[in-house]
Amino acid sequence: MVSLRYLVEGMVAADHDVAVAMVEPNREVRTLYETCGAQVFDAPEIPLFRHTTAGWARLGDPQACAYQARGIAKQLAGMATIHRMIHKFRPDLIHLNSVTLALVASGLRGSDVPVVWHVRESPVQGYFGMRRRFLRERLLHEADEIIFLSESDREAWVQGRRGQVVHNVVPVHSQPDAAAIRRERERFGLTPEDRAVAYVGGLSEIKGIFPLIAAVRELRPRFPTLRIVAPGMELTETTSLKARIARTLLPALGLARDYERAHREIMKPDLAGIFCRSSFVHDILPVIAACEFLVFPSTRPHFARPVVEAASVGRAAIGSNLSGVRDLIESGHTGALVPPADPHALATAMERFLTDPTVTASMGAVARMVASQRFDAAAQVQRIGDIYEVVKRQRRTTA
């Protein structure tokens, strides 16, 4: 979502007309893209193939399986929408921004419009490998070009057989100033004495909210002023009758959703005031810069954009030792890697960072230097633009 923002900005700046179809309509995200100069429209009928860290569908989870079935059932209606869009906008190229758009990629087979597929997720196990094989075949055969966020993702998805690596991007040369940082500390209610740690993952289990909660409980007696700054964690509950019934019945049946369980935990008295939350944040960089370091305790492999954002503002990061995360953190130099789903190891690393802020700050400085070389938005957007041009030229040649 945020990475696409920088790509849209770059394409608009290069005098391209950009139209963004939002499969999951959201007013704040719409505003984000419109501010960049894109034309934005809602397209909730476009089907998603939920299967990865972008929307994990467990075989044993009735809710997830029902959602998956509904998505597949929308295939015909969704593709009709896609073809109406193509007829209306006459695009030179279609950019698919997630591997969850696999059903769309299949529907575009044989289209006159070239397709670049931007894979932002790592593959996960499950469904006896059938889902992974299905997606690998789609990636290998149904896009003109694939862009991966890391070499490890490229290897995991297609064994390096095709595709290019373009790292996730941040505007490393646009730094939040002292006034912006001060405003964020005030917005989150931080005092000068508070030890602020950034966590950008909401109430998602795969982002590591449960190990983080356990680690915070372990640390609080030694660090009473510890605060977890959590943008985007503010829970906005649907008020429909169906949603209210689900919130009442599912927990009683032992089927409470992850975000509901996490929300109940952080609201318990022993964690009162520790998690400083907000709704969606348009500019995350000053929020992270207002903290001493960032934690990204993910429980499954995927590309850790918050780690890149932290590095861009000179903040070290603690992350899980998983594919996608370890591509971004050099343990002992730009941050620390800990075993996934290990609250004590996470608490130990956080305590080390809190106890020696000078060393933590020096790791942040190294992280910023690395980010300026690997993740500069302008350079990476230019690389994607170059890929677009090659793909369009190849299509014209073979037409």
What pLDDT digit, counting tens, does each position of 238-251 carry?
556 655 565 566 56
pTM of the predicted model as reported, rounded to 2 decimal places: 0.79
d(CA 366, CA 286): 19
Residues forming a β-bridge with 336: 318
pLDDT at res. 80? 85
List, in sequence order, the alpha helices (H) in 220-284.
Answer: 241-252, 258-266
pLDDT at res. 54? 43
Q: What is the pLDDT of residues 134-149, one digit of tens each?
A: 899 999 999 999 999 9
- The pLDDT confidence band at residue 190, using thresholds 50, 70 and 90, is very high
Q: What is the pLDDT of residues 382-392, one digit of tens each?
A: 999 999 999 99
pLDDT at res. 260? 82
pLDDT at res. 193? 96
Neighbouring C-beta atoms of residue 232, cutoff 10 Å: 18
Mean per-residue pLDDT of the chain: 87
Work out the angle between the directed axes of helices 357-374 and 305-312 (0-180°, nearest 10): 100
- Answer with the residue of higher pLDDT: 236 or 164: 164
List, in sequence order, the alpha helices (H) in 159-203.
Answer: 178-187
Residue keyed to tokens 């994607």: 384
Contacts of 356 (CB under 8 A, 6+ apart): none
**Which domains, and CATH codes, for the chain?**
2-169+376-398 (3.40.50.2000), 178-374 (3.40.50.2000)
Whether residue 173 has pLDDT greater than 80: no
Upper half-sphere CA count for residue 8 (Cβ side, 13 Å): 23
DSSP string of 110-164? T-SS-EEEEE-S-----GGGHHHHHHHHHHHHS-SEEEESSHHHHHHHHTTSS-E
Whether residue 399 has pLDDT greater than 70: no
Q: What is the mean pLDDT of residues 78-104?
A: 89
pLDDT at res. 53? 45
Residue keyed to tokens 């005098």: 15
- Round to the nearest angstrom and report the end-to-end CA distance of the chain: 33
- Answer with the residue of higher pLDDT: 45 or 144: 144
Q: What is the pLDDT of residues 251-293, one digit of tens each?
A: 655 656 777 888 889 999 999 999 999 988 888 999 999 999 9
pLDDT at res. 55? 47
Closest listed residue to residue 282, CA positions, set 11, 14, 27, 18: 27
